């Protein structure tokens, strides 16, 4: 792979608690991931992204880190991680791990020392603030998990900032020593052989040093892209609690550490109003992170032709020098086949669309099987987010249920013990072994779609031009120095007609179900059909 191995790469996300259990405790582990890497390699993926496996009290299931440089015992050991990296590299897979740098667990030694008094060596490592004269929090900032983003600490008689759970205090990256410590963490894992990082909540690293109030957001401008509609977090324009300009200098420092290792980073940009602009800003110039993914394709509203065109138009207005990483599903949102209520034909069409869009791609475990969102009973809930807002919002457990490997084994072959989340009975028929035995299963469609992307440099890394939305029809050209490919997708329930640009074209994607154009320049597409063609003259 080239030095820019990440450009156009297909990255497979693993949620380690739910991938494969090898020690019989009902929780997935690193050895389980190693055992199942051949499945990921068989898809044609270029890299894996492993959600947090670091030492943690697991209040937010690993996104509350208490030791950045060790493996939590429930997942295994550092030796297990080393074996995983070695096996992945044997299979040609890059390894990216999930770094949570905006906050730690309240059990992290850094926070324990910081909260002990106001004069210790790490007193300024977290965001502390005095109360207002009436004892209330220093400003109006809200937590994504509900309520004020400030928690009172009786030791220091101050509030500390937590954008998520109260047990997840925010680090103060305005403090140079904090940045240095986090870069030490980055170097630790790079030296251990990782090929890159997924950076959690990358735009939350800095808060406004003056702690100014966020302005309110009019009801007509609110959306539930980042938080559910029942959460008052949506009532604010988050102008000061994240997205601060100081982040750019830190990202440049982070990027400089990646260069000697030819490693890459993809940042999660969580912002309902300016996500695309921030993504373009963070990935432009070649001196910050290589990729970011915004939430445009993770939102509740189904991805329409108009939304695709609008997204790329907005990006073009900001910069041509950007690199997105698109995802339809992940560990934080309802699985997209359920969220968008997709038929099988629609799911297949969206899969090919993703492989044809400019940018890199993240696939979420089980997506290749077409798994729907699981319906988890309240008594089985584990996610504190869902418990807080039940029943209007059921949290994230429904997309985190265990991977199903065998339709006839207990718990789908995930674990012989009771899993930490139940395995839905309806998932068993879609298990990997069942899909492998069915030539027309979605699993094989994913393999063919990924192979198409790898076979054409224009799709993997080329420019995107002439994107047009006409009703439910989206069409565009992908072009690089060696080839030009025309793509058209009917993302609706009515027939659509597309006219190919002037010239001679060879049809592509017959094995994916693409409509074959022949010598025709006008092609009719039934609902959820698409056509792909490569210019020959």
Q: Is residue 51 part of a domain?
A: yes
pLDDT at site 227? 84
pLDDT of 439 above 70: yes
Residue 163 pLDDT exceeds 80 = yes
Please give the pLDDT value at position 258. 98
In a domain, 157, yes or no: no
Among 430, 451, 472, the domain-final residue is 451
- Structural domain of 46: 10-102+176-374+440-451
Q: Which two tokens stand for residue 453?
A: 């992307």
DSSP letter for each residue of 64-117: S-SEEEEE-TTT--HHHHHHHHHHHHHTT-EEEEEE--SB--TTSHHHHHHTT-
Please classify residue 338 by burial: count the beta carbons closer than 10 Å to its beta carbon, then call 0-12 exposed, 13-18 middle and 19+ buried: middle
In a domain, 429, yes or no: no
Q: Within 10 A of 382 (CB to CB), how many other CB atoms are there?
A: 16
Using CA atoms, how far apart are residues 268 and 242, in angstroms rounded to an integer?
13
DSSP letter, residue 126: B
Lowest mean pLDDT among 67-71, 161-165, 222-226, 474-478: 222-226
> Same domain, yes or no, for 90 and 217?
yes
Mean pLDDT, residues 476-499: 96
Residue written as token pair 């904090």: 178
Q: Report helix, strand or coil for 171.
A: strand
User: Helix, strand, or coil here: 173?
Assistant: coil
Q: Do 367 and 485 reside in the same domain of the chain?
A: no
How far apart are the C-alpha atoms of 232 and 226, rounded to whole Å? Answer: 11
Among the residue ranges 10-14, 246-250, 296-300, 473-477, the one predicted with the least confidence is: 296-300
Share of the chain above pLDDT 70, in %: 100
Residues forming the active site? 200, 268
256 CB-near residues (< 8 Å, 6+ apart):
none
pLDDT tens digits, 106-149: 999 999 999 999 999 999 999 999 999 999 999 999 999 999 99
- In the Cβ-directed half-sphere of 180, how many Cα atoms lie within 13 Å? 5
3-class SS letters over 340-366: CCCCHHHHHHHHHHHHHCCCEEEEECC
Q: Are strands 150-153 and 158-161 parallel, antiparallel or unpaired?
A: antiparallel
Strands 264-268 and 291-293: parallel
Q: Is the pLDDT of residue 225 over 60?
A: yes
pLDDT at 172 over 80: yes
What is the Rg, in whole angstroms, of the alpha carbon atoms belonging to the chain? 23
Nearby residues of 332 by Cβ (< 8 Å), 6 or more positions away: 298, 396, 399
Dihedral sign (CA 179, 96, 2, 188): positive
- pLDDT in the model for residue 2: 59
pLDDT at 180 over 50: yes
CATH number for 27: 3.20.20.80
Q: Among residues 426, 451, 476, which one ends one of the domains?
A: 451
Q: Answer yes or no: do 347 and 468 share one domain.
A: no
For range 22-42, the mean pLDDT:
98
**Does residue 129 lie within any of the structural domains?**
no
Is residue 6 helix, strand or coil? coil
Give the angle 513-515-519 at the CA atoms, nearest 5°: 145
Is residue 380 in some structural domain? no
Indicate which CATH number applies to the domain containing 531: 2.60.40.1180
- Asked if residue 235 and residue 212 are part of one domain, the reply reads yes
In a domain, 431, yes or no: no
293 and 187 in a common domain: yes
- Whole-number percent of the chain with pLDDT over 90: 91
Phi, psi of 390 (to 5 degrees): -60, 145
Contact 362, 354 (CB under 8 A): no
Residue that is written with structure tokens 């199903």 in the block: 404
Question: Is the pLDDT at 1 greater than 60, yes or no?
Answer: no
In a domain, 126, yes or no: no
Among candidate residues 141, 166, 134, 163, the one with its CA nearest the CA of residue 152 = 166
What's the pLDDT tens digit per position in 350-404? Answer: 999 999 999 999 999 999 999 999 999 999 999 998 998 898 889 999 999 999 9
- Average pLDDT rounded to a whole number, residues 506-530: 93
- Among 81-85, 157-161, 214-218, 384-388, the range scoring the smallest mean pLDDT is 384-388
Residues 92 and 209 both lie in one domain = yes
DSSP type of residue 440: T
Nearest to 46 by CA among 264, 248, 217: 264
With beta carbons less than 8 A apart as the criterion, state whether 380 and 419 touch. Answer: no
List the structure tokens of 284.
């432009």
pLDDT tens track for 417-426: 999 999 999 9
How deeply is 328 buried, as exposed, middle or buried, from its count of CB atoms within 10 A (0-12, 13-18, 19+)?
buried
Partnered with residue 269 across adjacent β-strands are: none
Whether 50 contacts 11, CB under 8 Å: no
Q: What contacts 470, CB < 8 A, 6 or more positions away?
A: 305, 496
Checking phi first, is residue 506 left (phi over 0); if not, alpha (psi -120 to 50) or beta? beta
Helix axes 176-191, 247-258, angle to 10 degrees: 30
Last residue of a domain, one of 417, 451, 485: 451
Nearest of 531, 452, 450 to residue 489 by alpha carbon: 531
SS3 396: coil
Q: In the predicted model, is pLDDT for residue 226 greater than 90?
A: no
Residue 31 lies in a domain: yes
Per-residue pLDDT, 321: 87
**Residue 354 and residue 241 share a domain:** yes
First to last CA, the chain: 29
479 and 445 together in one domain: no
Return the minimum-mean-pLDDT range out of 60-64, 217-221, 248-252, 278-282. Answer: 217-221
Residue 25, CA distances (Å) to 28, 84, 110, 415 in order:
8, 20, 30, 8
- Structural domain total, the chain: 2
Average pLDDT, the chain: 96
Q: CB–CB of 336/361 below 8 Å?
A: no
Instruction: At 357, list the tokens.
Output: 């869009």
What is the average pLDDT across 9-35?
98
Q: Are residues 447 and 480 in the same domain?
A: no
Q: Return all residues near 373 (Cβ < 8 A) that are at least 6 apart.
A: 334, 335, 337, 338, 339, 398, 399
Residue 458 has pLDDT above 80, yes or no: yes
Residues 203 and 181 in one domain: yes
The pLDDT, as a whole number, for residue 318 is 86
H, E, C per residue of 202-236: HHHCCCCCCCCCCCECCHHHCCCCCCCCCCHHHHE
Q: Are residues 262 and 302 in the same domain?
A: yes
Q: Are residues 82 and 204 in the same domain?
A: yes
List the structure tokens of 12: 């497979």
For the question of whether the overall pTM of this predicted structure is more than 0.95, the answer is yes
């Amino acid at each position: 792979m080239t030095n820019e191995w990440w450009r156009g790469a297909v990255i497979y996300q693993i949620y380690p608690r739910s991938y494969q259990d090898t020690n019989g405790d009902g929780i997935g582990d690193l050895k389980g991931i190693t055992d199942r890497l051949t499945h990921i390699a068989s898809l044609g993926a270029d890299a894996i992204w492993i959600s947090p496996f670091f030492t943690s009290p697991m209040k937010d299931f690993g996104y509350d880190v208490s030791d950045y440089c060790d493996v939590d015992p429930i997942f295994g050991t550092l030796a297990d991680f080393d074996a995983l990296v070695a096996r992945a590299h044997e299979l040609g897979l890059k390894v990216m791990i999930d770094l949570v740098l905006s906050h730690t667990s309240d059990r992290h030694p850094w926070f324990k020392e910081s909260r002990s008094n106001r004069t210790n060596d790490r007193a300024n490592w977290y965001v502390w603030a005095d109360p207002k004269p009436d004892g209330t929090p220093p400003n109006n900032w809200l937590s994504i998990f509900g309520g004020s983003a400030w928690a009172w600490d009786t030791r220091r008689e101050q509030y500390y900032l937590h954008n998520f759970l109260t047990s997840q205090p925010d680090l103060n990256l305005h403090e140079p020593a904090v940045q240095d410590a986090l870069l030490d963490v980055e170097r630790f894992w790079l030296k251990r052989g990782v090929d890159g990082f997924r950076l959690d909540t990358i735009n939350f690293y800095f808060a406004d040093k003056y702690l100014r109030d966020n302005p309110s957001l009019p009801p007509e401008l609110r959306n539930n892209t980042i938080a559910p509609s029942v959460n008052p977090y949506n009532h604010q324009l988050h102008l000061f609690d994240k997205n601060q300009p100081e982040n750019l200098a830190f990202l440049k420092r982070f990027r400089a550490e990646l260069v000697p290792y030819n490693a890459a980073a993809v940042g999660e940009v969580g912002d309902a109003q300016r996500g695309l602009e921030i993504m373009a800003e963070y990935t432009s110039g070649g001196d910050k992170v290589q990729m970011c993914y915004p939430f445009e394709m993770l939102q509740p509203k189904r991805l329409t032709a108009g939304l695709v065109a609008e997204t790329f138009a907005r990006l073009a207005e900001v910069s041509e020098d950007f690199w997105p990483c698109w995802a339809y599903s992940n560990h934080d949102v309802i699985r997209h086949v359920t969220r968008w209520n997709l038929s099988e034909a629609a799911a297949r069409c969206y899969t090919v669309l993703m492989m044809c869009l400019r940018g890199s791609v993240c696939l979420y475990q089980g997506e290749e099987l077409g798994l729907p969102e699981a319906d988890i009973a309240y008594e089985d809930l584990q996610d504190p987010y869902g418990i807080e807002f039940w029943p209007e919002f059921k949290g994230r457990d429904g997309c985190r249920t265990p991977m199903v490997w065998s339709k006839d084994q207990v718990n789908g072959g995930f674990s012989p013990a009771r899993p930490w989340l139940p395995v839905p009975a309806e998932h068993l028929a879609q298990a990997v072994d069942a899909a492998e035995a069915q030539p027309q299963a979605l699993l094989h469609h994913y393999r063919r779609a990924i192979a198409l992307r790898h076979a054409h440099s224009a799709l993997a890394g080329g420019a995107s031009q002439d994107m047009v939305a006409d009703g439910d029809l989206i069409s565009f050209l992908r072009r690089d120095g060696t080839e030009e490919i025309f793509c058209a997708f009917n993302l609706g329930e009515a027939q659509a007609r597309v006219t190919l640009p002037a010239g001679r074209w060879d049809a592509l994607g017959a094995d994916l179900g693409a409509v074959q154009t022949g010598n025709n320049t006008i092609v009719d597409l039934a609902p959820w059909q698409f056509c792909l063609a490569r210019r020959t003259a």
